[in-house]
Structure 1
Amino acid sequence: MPLMPYCRAHWYLLALIAVAVFAFWPGYFATWYDARWGMHLHGITATGWLLLLAGQSWSIHQRRVGLHRALGRASLFYFPVFLAGASAVLLSMARATPTHPLYQVYGARLAALDGPSLLLLAWLFQRAIAERRQPRRHAASLLATPLPLLPPIVGRIVPVPEMLTAGASDPIPAFGWSVRLGALAAIAIAAILYARRPRDGQPFLVTALALALFAVFFDTLGRTAAWADAMRWLAQQTDVAVLGTAAAIGAAASWTGWVAGRRPRGAAAVPA
């Protein structure tokens, strides 16, 4: 018997990396040298995060508990780096908005979708560490962290039906609908995972509801003048300030989760 649920999760995570490479090949990998540094940082750190999760899943199901614990401790230090990489994309979009044709239309709206996801990721990781002695909750929280990465991946693969773009007011309507379809796919996957294990799948339910809210932000908050002003303010901030703030949030999630999950002194160990 495996020590933890989701015994094939590592294969799905590795497949997600392959799908991401396919999705971003035309717009990123094929133009590697022209991409902004923020895209590079996010691509490297997000790939590292998925590999780390895959390693944790594989090690525990191979009963290599020592390796699993070592990777878990490494995640405490890597998660702030991962979150900083995610914030670098927001900063890159904010700075590219005045000149890049796509971001002139969608930069602020994408930030309204992706920006709040940083807080969702921090919450999921904090809960995963705090509940590390409850295998099912621990696994669900960690495996929910790749879900906010799905909308941009799915949106670049799923073809947009022509009927959806007919009469659209956006200059690049197909991209807008691809983002919506990607968000819908991520919400559906999170809802399915919750339905399979509702007793311990709260992280998937929270993720589904949060992603639904963020998708609404894409067409509401992201279109407001106040949000556009916030993006211009973000573009003026230094790299150290933005990435440092995200890393500090990640470090706070690591620390508070670790402290909350400590076994009380004198408490008996609970068998897995």
Structure 2
Amino acid sequence: MSLPSELAGTPVAEHAAPRGIQVYRNLHLWLATGLAITLVGFAPTYFLNLRDATWFQHLHGLSATLWMGLLVVQPWLATRGRLKRHRSFGIVALVLAGMVVASGLAVLPFNIENAIEATSSPFAPATFLYGVTFVDLLTILGFLVAVLMATLSIRSLDDHVLWMASTLFWVLMPALARLLTFGLLVTVGPGDWTLVDTVFWTAFPILGLLVYLMVRIRRAHPALVLAAVGNLGALFVEPIGNSESWRALCNAVFL
């Protein structure tokens, strides 16, 4: 995805395709990869176990999956000249974003309940559940900021696209970590590792991809920088999860 310098700040006309939009003609294919990772990564724990999920988990799973699907559809519509449909779906996207944020906050208490009751699997110890709650809060906040900035920059093509596309990097970590976990279970089998380890190592390919994109477009765009900072949180799941102060705060807020 390369952005010519002359496109920076290109104004988006209200009823016409913005100049230079065809530079994003293949963006939907990149975003479709993120959707595929989400579907495969969450298949064993959610899509193939729908009966075990709570109502809030269903709402979060449905809204997040639809969001990822919309990320694929929107650039395809815009680069094929279907701007009226693109703008209509933009309204739907705002509703979906609200559902993703609200349902994401609603499922956080389950992390703390599982940590205290020790009802989770051996791969998700209390350290992970408390630590990943911090990462989840960071992810929800970053996702919300990215959506708001994409909405506010709707008249600047490059900014609008990059802020919206960056939401992928706020929701990719959970799916990719699960995919890595099941890959390890199949190839290596159970061992001394837990989800603390897989989340830690999952951060590196995501950070690497963000750095690659910044080099490719020759610009450290705020959307990509913010996503990189947010994904750095995955490297600190263990110390945060072991923090007594953080555990006490989570217990007070979520229980």
Using structure 2 for the length normalisation, give the TM-score: 0.79
Q: Given the superposition, is the C-alpha separation of residues 112 and 78 from structure 1 closer, same or farther in structure 2, using an over 3 Å criterion?
A: same
Q: Find the partner of 2:175 among 147, 153, 170.
A: 153
Q: Which runs of 4+ in 1 moved over 4 A?
A: none
Query: 1:84 and 1:60 mapped to 2: Cα distance?
Result: 28
Which residue pairs with 1:260 in the alignment?
Answer: none
Query: 1:234 and 1:95 mapped to 2: Cα distance?
Result: 12
Deviations 1:183-226 (A, max 9, x none): 222212222222211337331122112221x1243133232111
- 1:126 partner letter: L
Which residue pairs with 1:242 in the alignment?
Answer: none
Which residue pairs with 2:8 in the alignment?
Answer: none
- 1:208 partner letter: A
Q: Do structure 1's residue 178 and structure 2's residue 198 form an aligned pair?
A: yes
Query: 1:194 and 1:88 mapped to 2: Cα distance?
Result: 34
Task: State percent identity of aligned pairs.
Answer: 22
Query: 1:193 and 1:87 mapped to 2: Cα distance?
Result: 30
Q: Given the superposition, is the C-alpha separation of residues 221 and 200 from structure 1 closer, same or farther in structure 2, using an over 3 Å criterion?
A: closer
Which residue pairs with 1:37 in the alignment?
Answer: 55
Which residue pairs with 2:147 in the alignment?
Answer: 125
Report deviation, 1:24.
2.0
CA RMSD of aligned residues (A): 2.6
Q: Given the superposition, is the C-alpha separation of residues 103 and 5 from structure 1 closer, same or farther in structure 2, using an over 3 Å criterion?
A: farther
Report deviation, 1:174.
3.3
Deviations 1:3-57 (A, max 9, x none): 2543222223333223222222222223221123332222101011112222211
Which residue pairs with 1:48 in the alignment?
Answer: 66
* Segment of structure 1 superposing worse, 103-112 or 42-51: 103-112
- 2:129 partner letter: G
Q: Find the partner of 1:219 among 238, 241, 244.
A: 238
* Segment of structure 1 superposing worse, 222-231 or 85-94: 85-94
Query: 2:131 and 2:105 mapped to 1: Cα distance?
Result: 15
Query: 1:47 and 1:106 mapped to 2: Cα distance?
Result: 24
- 2:242 partner letter: R
Structure 2: 5+ residue stretches without partners: 1-18, 186-190
Query: 2:154 and 2:95 mapped to 1: Cα distance?
Result: 16
Which residue pairs with 1:140 in the alignment?
Answer: 162
Q: Given the superposition, is the C-alpha separation of residues 200 and 56 from structure 1 closer, same or farther in structure 2, using an over 3 Å criterion?
A: farther
Q: Find the partner of 1:205 among 221, 225, 229.
A: 225
Which residue pairs with 1:270 in the alignment?
Answer: none
* Segment of structure 1 superposing worse, 94-103 or 124-133: 94-103
Which residue pairs with 1:254 in the alignment?
Answer: none
Which residue pairs with 2:251 in the alignment?
Answer: 232
Query: 2:82 and 2:139 mapped to 1: Cα distance?
Result: 32
Q: Do structure 1's residue 192 and structure 2's residue 212 form an aligned pair?
A: yes
Q: Do structure 1's residue 75 and structure 2's residue 128 form an aligned pair?
A: no
Query: 2:106 and 2:113 mapped to 1: Cα distance?
Result: 11
Report deviation, 1:62.
0.5
Report deviation, 1:172.
5.7
Query: 2:197 and 2:22 mapped to 1: Cα distance?
Result: 37
Q: Do structure 1's residue 21 and structure 2's residue 43 form an aligned pair?
A: no
Q: Given the superposition, is the C-alpha separation of residues 63 and 220 from structure 1 closer, same or farther in structure 2, using an over 3 Å criterion?
A: same
Report deviation, 1:137.
1.0
Structure 1: 5+ residue stretches without partners: 162-170, 237-272
Q: Given the superposition, is the C-alpha separation of residues 92 and 7 from structure 1 closer, same or farther in structure 2, using an over 3 Å criterion?
A: farther
Q: Given the superposition, is the C-alpha separation of residues 96 and 12 from structure 1 closer, same or farther in structure 2, using an over 3 Å criterion?
A: same
Count, aligned residues: 229
Q: Given the superposition, is the C-alpha separation of residues 6 and 223 from structure 1 closer, same or farther in structure 2, using an over 3 Å criterion?
A: farther
Query: 1:234 and 1:19 mapped to 2: Cα distance?
Result: 32
Report deviation, 1:94.
2.2
Query: 1:98 and 1:208 mapped to 2: Cα distance?
Result: 31
